[in-house]
Amino acid sequence: MGGWGLSDMPSQQGRRVVITGANSGLGEQMAIALGAAGAQVTLACRNVAKAQRVADWIGPHARVAELDLADLASVRAFADGFDGADVLINNAGVMAIPQARTADGFEMQIGTNFLGHFALTGLVLDRIDDRIVTLSSLMHKRARLDVDDLNWQQRKYSRWVAYSDSKLADLVFALDLADRLAKAGSAKASLAAHPGYAATELQGHTETPFEWVMKLGNLTPIAQSAADGALPALFAATSPHAANGEYYGPRSFGEMRGAPAPASYRRAADDPDLRRRLWDKAEELTGVQVTVG
């Protein structure tokens, strides 16, 4: 895999890719790169006006579709109008925000980052031909995931733990989906990726003093650009060497920057009991029964 970069991306001519949250940051960079490689890219976003500016810059290879992952009605509406794609990239997310609720009453971070993507994937899985790539984070290693209290109704809310929980849930889902696809004999693949420490707008909404620490960190040599942070997900989405059930991230400085490589993750993500309980709880909360086959 070496120093894989955009010049190593195979032609995406004729392929269709859906990217959630592609109006800024990592998703925007993924959309730009995939459009330049010839893919027809759908920017599935809540802020359609902002997404349209990105699509206009990419050109005729890009289009915008409205999708608010914090509202299951919006997820279902998007799925109802979905006409298929080769790749779905579950990228959109919020990070370490003050306590809030989605339209369906879920804690905002678990609701947007995980449950929204779980529902979306389940509703369109039969129309994805090749791969599902789900974004996790280095912060998944700090999670204290409580399947019985995903929505923070019993615990005292901690914005950073809630974020970490959502990213561990994303990783567990991606790996579990990969196993279920393999057992079903499906040719589809589920992969996960993380961007390392990438300078994006995501870090500007925590409303805490630590936000300024992160903004200063964005100016250090450790932080990489959003374009570089997008590379692990782009590798997972396009490389013929990216395998079902693998997790990719930057290879250097404790996985904070560098070219894509296999990433490390908490053993909890392989726990079959956690996987089963999380999947069942997500189906219960979202009302989406995920059929793998």
Which positions are catalytic? Answer: 163
* 233 close to 91: Cβ distance less than 8 angstroms: yes
Cα Rg of the chain, angstroms: 17
Count other Cβ atoms within 10 Å, centred on residue 65: 16
Count other Cβ atoms within 10 Å, centred on residue 193: 32
**Tokens linked to 124:** 């369109």
* Long-range contacts of 124-129, Cβ-Cβ distance < 8 Å, separation of 24 or more: 124/79, 124/82, 124/85, 124/88, 125/188, 125/290, 125/291, 125/292, 126/291, 127/82, 127/83, 127/84, 127/85, 128/84, 128/85, 128/86, 128/87, 128/88, 128/188, 129/84, 129/85, 129/86, 129/188
> Using N-to-C axis directions, what is the helix angle for 25-36 and 48-58, rounded to 10°?
30
Instruction: Using alpha carbons only, give the angle 177, 179, 181 rounded to the nearest 5 degrees.
Output: 70
Find where tokens 């389940």 sit: 122
Burial of 288 (0-12, 13-18, 19+ CB in 10 A): buried
* Long-range contacts of 55-59, Cβ-Cβ distance < 8 Å, separation of 24 or more: 55/31, 57/32, 58/31, 58/32, 59/35
